[in-house]
Structure 1
Amino acid sequence: MKSFRTRLTLILMIMIGLTMIGAGMAMAKVFKNSHIIVLEENMAREIKLLGNTLDFRSTENEEVIQYYTKEAHEIGNLIDSRVTFINHNGDVIGDSEKDPLMMDNHLNREEIVAAAKDGVGHIIRYSSSLGQNMLYVAAPVKVDNVFDGYIRLSVSLASIDEGLERGWTLMAVWLLILFVIAALVSYRMATSLTLPLEKIIKVARRITQLDYDARVQLERHDEVGQLGKAINAMADSLQNQLKRIRDNEDLIQSVLDNMTSGILMIDVKGNIAVINPAAEGMLKVKSEQVLGKSYMDMKQQYELSKVLKEGISLRIAIHEERTLYYPDEKMIRIDGVPMLDEEGSYKGILFLLQDISAIRRLENMRSEFVANVSHELKTPIAAVKGFAETLLGGGVTDEKTARSFLQIIYDESERLNRLISDILDLSKIESKRIPMDNSPVHLTSFFTSVMETITTMADKKGISLQTDIPDELFIEADEDKLKQIFLNLLSNAINYTQEGGQVKVIVRHLEHDHGEDRIQFTVSDTGLGIPKKDLPRIFERFYRVDKARSRGSGGTGLGLSIVKHLVDLHKGQLSVDSELNIGSTFTVELPLLQEHEG
């Protein structure tokens, strides 16, 4: 409707404009022609007057060019025209604007040819020397035997052009006024006809663009008004339905986004129709990369694809557990349920993916822990029970043998006590139930105390203990837990070092590039060393490189695991480097200052 109103307005404006332009062009042509005719007649009379009044001189005179040029200048100033004297051969012998000697022969100029033929010649021509249109009028003049040639006058048409420009300007102003009047009238007429329909069309377009708040505002009771009411009723119905749909979609999307389990829906064509963020993270894919594509495109997940293919091909509920190896190894539980519509037609299959790696790992750790604890407890208990039964049965009469049996019972009970104590400590540490009591620790004094504790153990095997610790060094830490860390490390070093060996502690202050000060502790020995294959697992609970050797040393298998957890509590790092039959070096890095919570 808007385009129709615009077209109507333009048609009226074009009609008026064409009429005005046509009339203006006709008037301008008449004005210009009449003015030029009058100008030509006046110039012809002026030439005739000059022929009768001018004091002509012979063109054979040597000073003829100077004389006629002077006369041309004087006459040109009087009549405000360019004056040119030309002899019968066409040579210019005088001109009011240019040097005659620089001008070419004029015998073939149109005005001269016409003058020779008709008595008066006139032509309008662009003057390159003056850079504008000029009117040239020429007539032959013959004065006895003195002068035989032509007088040519020329004037600029700039004044005529200026007049025409003023006329065009005036006409343009009136044309613009008529345009405005025509536009207003046509617009008012078209508006009264098309505005209501235009409003209805605009609202309908907004509705098609999903703007269901759009309404037709019309106070009319005719057919157009009824059409507007029908559009409004339709918009109300669509808006209510869309709100219910969006609410349901938002609820479903919120559920999908916040589920910890992965959702993967495969449609009837075998393409992925839905995948939620949990499934994206589990499978390390992006929804935009897989939506609408075949599930077979996930080639990295070979085990998953096999289960999906089985469920899709059989269209039955499936419950499987599979290990996925990309991007890392994980155990996934896959539950698939076929989706059917109300008529029982197959629409696809919905898969629920649950990462049960942590659950299985905890179950395995629990089983291993129970088995290890049972095994570790069983050994000393069996020894205690066996030797006690022997003593109680009266089978040992020798006092020395009985005393050795009692010593074994005592040693095994001590070992059992250490094992239970370590299990309780590790349980508390792992459950984060041990509070940290951080305070400044003077490291030289600290290691003096630690070395005094283990000196007896080292002396029994003839092992030398050495320390290299700067005297001024302090660290903020829990002193009791710090002591437990290094007593474990030093005890292990002594236990697994042969007689006459060496154990050394070196402490250094490190300043990292990012400005965090740290203290580095290294505990090195010259012992048996640890095989490369066992290094990644030595901090696990009850893991022993050589079980026979460990039991012989009285170890519980929990010391290094306790050390690892205590270092973590101090926000530190623990590492080990070892070579068989050369020795081992344990490195602990702890922050110089502990971060204090809020």
Structure 2
Amino acid sequence: MLKSIRWKLTLTYLIVTVLATTAVGFSVLGPLERRATTSLQDKLLAEAKLIREVVGPELARNEYQAVGREVDRLGRSIDSRITVVAADGLVIGDSWENPSAMENHADRPEIQEALRGNMGTVTRYSRTLKTKMIYVAVPVERDGEIIGSVRVSVPLTEVQAMLGRFRRIVIGGIVFATLVVFTLSVQIGRSLSRPVEEINNAALKIARGNFQQKVYYRSQDEIGQLAQTINFMARSLKEKVEEISESRNRLETVLSHMSSGVVFLDPEGRIQLMNPAAEKMLRVSEEDSRGKHNLAVFRNYGLNEKVNEVMEKRSAITYEFTLVYPKKQVLEVNLAPVEGEQRQLLGVVAVFHDISELRRVEQVKSEFVANVSHELRTPVTSIKGFTETLLDGALEEPETARRFVTIIDKEASRLARLIEDLLELSLIESGKVPVRKKACRLGEVVEKTLAYMQPYIERKKLEIKIEIPETLQVMADMDALQQVLSNLIDNAVKYTPEGGAIIVSGERLGKEVKVTVRDTGTGISPQDLPRVFERFYRVDKARSRKQGGTGLGLAIVKHIVEAHGGKVGAESEMGKGSSFWFTLPDAQHG
């Protein structure tokens, strides 16, 4: 029986009716519940703030008994439950329960949030009152210090009762609509089922390739017109289906293999077609986007304006825009109108190209050229200036000449180091430096690195601590690992004042080993910290150049570690020192 179109129509109407009425009811129920809960939270927040003004001074003076009396007095004048909690979670006063019999509230989420200086709002089951409650807690401060919190709460019975009444109305509406639709759908299905079955049988034969099949139905109503349409379709379908199928296959093949994203918009700006490259590039699904307006899908007002401009002017336009979520992406789109034989507008085709890498390379190239020019200009200018001074007569003064030549030698050495670091960084980035990994005992590599730097360390009277287990090993190129440690320890020595300390530690984290170089130096400001691994970026430019830095050491560290499959990072606090860390594969899992 359920295979009949009559009952299918009936069942479909019933399902649609039930789903629609249920969806409408529950779509209203959610916002209604949230609105009721929000209103209740606002009321409780206002009460909590007023109560805080009353009990706050007494709590600040540690007059806990007076706080309890005020809570009892205020509790008799409002319907809400009032609780005052000290900073350690001790319940000082409660308008519904005996505070001395209540457990410590330090673990209550709303109390924890209030003690952090924020408003705490939680809906949960009360272990004390054995019912679901809504809680709002606010902090109580004394001279900027949080000394406790005031919490106001009420049971959710009011909200639940209102929602219960609304649910009963929704259920009644569903039942009534179902009965009405059932009656109507049975009548409609009965009148449609017989001729539709005949048309269905004929359509099935046509679908199976019998294009000679005809439908015999003499009525002139809509079903009769449908029968005539099917007969016409059978005559024309054979010659059209192959042509359409062939064209579609060609189009789908081309679009699916294009690296550029292609989107077709109808004259109303709605999406009608999108190839896989566009789905990936724009982070949307064709299935979810088809038929929707481009502004609703792409959420880009600039792109929508350009689409409208193409439709208005009937000319192609190129537009560039940036997507920022979930990652920054620069896209270039070529928009062109699509016209019919009568020059009527059929829509707009948009071809998207991801030019993020191109723009990034342009920016990196520009920054690199600017930085290299700046770094080279300083020593070259110094060398040229002192050389000209010598040629102008300073050679006749041996002491002055010696001092100038010493400066020229120092600047030339710095220039040579800069060029060497640039070449090394270029080789590492290009992957031309082979990474020969083997198991290395981390402690031995650290001690070997420190041995080379011992005179410098002793000159500054620095305390060196090594906190690395003897058995800890990493999979790494030993020379590259020593270069990483040398750069990090050298930085720590440079920026740690005389008498300070440097700690080199290592620990196993799963399949990786984390190595940290900590110092007690001047520290790095929060705005500088995210950029310390950039090429030529210096926290203190004058001091870095004075101490011989090229600005490339940490960039080299970053690329060496990444070539090993690891990560780098830095943490710092001004006046207390900095920690630079990196990870390498653990030899036990290598």
What TM-score results when the alignment is normalised by the length of structure 1?
0.58
Please tell me whether the aligned partners of residues 303 and 319 of structure 2 are also in contact (alpha carbons under 8 angstroms). Answer: no
Distance change (3 Å), C-alpha of 1:260 and 1:305: same
Give the superposition deviation at 1:395.
2.2
Deviation readout 1:279-299 (Å, 9 max, x if unpaired):
222332221222112223236
- State the SS of the aligned residue for 2:571: strand
- State the SS of the aligned residue for 2:453: helix
Distance change (3 Å), C-alpha of 1:473 and 1:327: closer
Distance change (3 Å), C-alpha of 1:403 and 1:257: same
Match of 1:101 in 2: none
Match of 2:519 in 1: 525
Match of 1:536 in 2: 530
Distance change (3 Å), C-alpha of 1:410 and 1:549: same
Give the superposition deviation at 1:338.
0.8
Q: Give the Cα–Cα distance (whole angstroms) in 2 for the partners of residues 304 and 338 of structure 1.
A: 14
Please tell me whether the aligned partners of residues 212 and 238 of structure 1 are also in contact (alpha carbons under 8 angstroms). Answer: no
Q: Give the Cα–Cα distance (whole angstroms) in 2 for the partners of residues 272 and 296 of structure 1.
A: 10
Q: Superposed, which structure 2 residues align to 1:581-592 within 5 Å? A: 581-592=575-586
Q: Superposed, which structure 2 residues align to 1:429-468 within 5 Å? A: 429-468=428-467
Q: Superposed, which structure 2 residues align to 1:279-318 within 5 Å? A: 279-298=278-297, 300-318=299-317
Match of 1:492 in 2: 491
Q: 1:547 aligns with which of 541, 547, 550?
A: 541
- The runs of 5 or more residues in structure 2 that have no matched partner are 1-198, 214-232
* Residue correspondences, number: 375
Give the ranges of 4+ consecutive aligned residues of structure 1 lying more than 4 Å apart after TM superposition. 201-207, 213-216, 234-241
Q: Give the Cα–Cα distance (whole angstroms) in 2 for the partners of residues 207 and 376 of structure 1.
A: 81
Q: Superposed, which structure 2 residues align to 1:146-545 within 5 Å? A: 205=203, 208-209=206-207, 211-212=208-209, 242-298=241-297, 300-510=299-509, 512=510, 516=511, 518-545=512-539
- State the SS of the aligned residue for 1:437: coil
Give the superposition deviation at 1:206.
5.1
Q: Give the Cα–Cα distance (whole angstroms) in 2 for the partners of residues 523 and 240 of structure 1.
A: 77
Distance change (3 Å), C-alpha of 1:322 and 1:461: same
Letter in 2 for 1:538: V
Please tell me whether the aligned partners of residues 301 and 324 of structure 1 are also in contact (alpha carbons under 8 angstroms). Answer: no
Distance change (3 Å), C-alpha of 1:594 and 1:569: farther
- State the SS of the aligned residue for 1:532: coil
Q: Give the Cα–Cα distance (whole angstroms) in 2 for the partners of residues 251 and 405 of structure 1.
A: 76
What TM-score results when the alignment is normalised by the length of structure 2?
0.59
Q: 1:561 aligns with which of 552, 555, 578?
A: 555
Match of 1:577 in 2: 571
Distance change (3 Å), C-alpha of 1:420 and 1:595: farther
Please tell me whether the aligned partners of residues 508 and 514 of structure 2 are also in contact (alpha carbons under 8 angstroms). Answer: yes
Deviation readout 1:107-126 (Å, 9 max, x if unpaired):
xxxxxxxxxxxxxxxxxxxx
Please tell me whether the aligned partners of residues 463 and 499 of structure 1 are also in contact (alpha carbons under 8 angstroms). Answer: yes
Give the superposition deviation at 1:240.
7.0
Please tell me whether the aligned partners of residues 261 and 277 of structure 2 are also in contact (alpha carbons under 8 angstroms). Answer: yes
Letter in 2 for 1:295: N
Larger radius of gyration between Structure 1 and Structure 2: 1
Give the superposition deviation at 1:454.
1.5
Q: Give the Cα–Cα distance (whole angstroms) in 2 for the partners of residues 417 and 213 of structure 1.
A: 85
Higher mean alpha-carbon deviation, 560-569 vs 382-391, is at 382-391
Give the superposition deviation at 1:397.
2.9
Distance change (3 Å), C-alpha of 1:366 and 1:388: same
Deviation readout 1:138-188 (Å, 9 max, x if unpaired):
xxxxxxxxxxxxxxxxxxxxxxxxxxxxxxxxxxxxxxxxxxxxxxxxxxx
Q: Percent identity?
A: 41
Distance change (3 Å), C-alpha of 1:593 and 1:246: farther
Give the superposition deviation at 1:235.
9.1
Distance change (3 Å), C-alpha of 1:525 and 1:327: closer
- The runs of 5 or more residues in structure 1 that have no matched partner are 1-200, 217-233
- State the SS of the aligned residue for 1:298: helix
Q: Give the Cα–Cα distance (whole angstroms) in 2 for the partners of residues 443 and 295 of structure 1.
A: 56
Say what the alpha-carbon RMSD is for the aligned residues.
2.9
- State the SS of the aligned residue for 1:274: strand
Please tell me whether the aligned partners of residues 544 and 557 of structure 1 are also in contact (alpha carbons under 8 angstroms). Answer: yes
Give the superposition deviation at 1:250.
2.0
Distance change (3 Å), C-alpha of 1:351 and 1:424: same
Give the superposition deviation at 1:205.
4.7
Give the superposition deviation at 1:559.
1.0
Q: Give the Cα–Cα distance (whole angstroms) in 2 for the partners of residues 215 and 440 of structure 1.
A: 78
Q: Superposed, which structure 2 residues align to 1:39-58 within 5 Å? A: none
Deviation readout 1:219-252 (Å, 9 max, x if unpaired):
xxxxxxxxxxxxxxx9999667534432332221
Q: Give the Cα–Cα distance (whole angstroms) in 1 for the partners of residues 205 and 535 of structure 2.
A: 68
Please tell me whether the aligned partners of residues 280 and 287 of structure 1 are also in contact (alpha carbons under 8 angstroms). Answer: yes
Give the superposition deviation at 1:445.
2.3
Q: Give the Cα–Cα distance (whole angstroms) in 2 for the partners of residues 349 and 499 of structure 1.
A: 70
Q: Give the Cα–Cα distance (whole angstroms) in 2 for the partners of residues 411 and 550 of structure 1.
A: 14
Give the superposition deviation at 1:329.
3.4
Give the superposition deviation at 1:257.
2.0
Please tell me whether the aligned partners of residues 336 and 351 of structure 1 are also in contact (alpha carbons under 8 angstroms). Answer: yes
Q: Give the Cα–Cα distance (whole angstroms) in 2 for the partners of residues 327 and 446 of structure 1.
A: 40
Please tell me whether the aligned partners of residues 525 and 572 of structure 2 are also in contact (alpha carbons under 8 angstroms). Answer: yes
- State the SS of the aligned residue for 1:391: helix
Deviation readout 1:262-287 (Å, 9 max, x if unpaired):
21211123321112222222332221
Letter in 2 for 1:544: R
- State the SS of the aligned residue for 1:309: helix
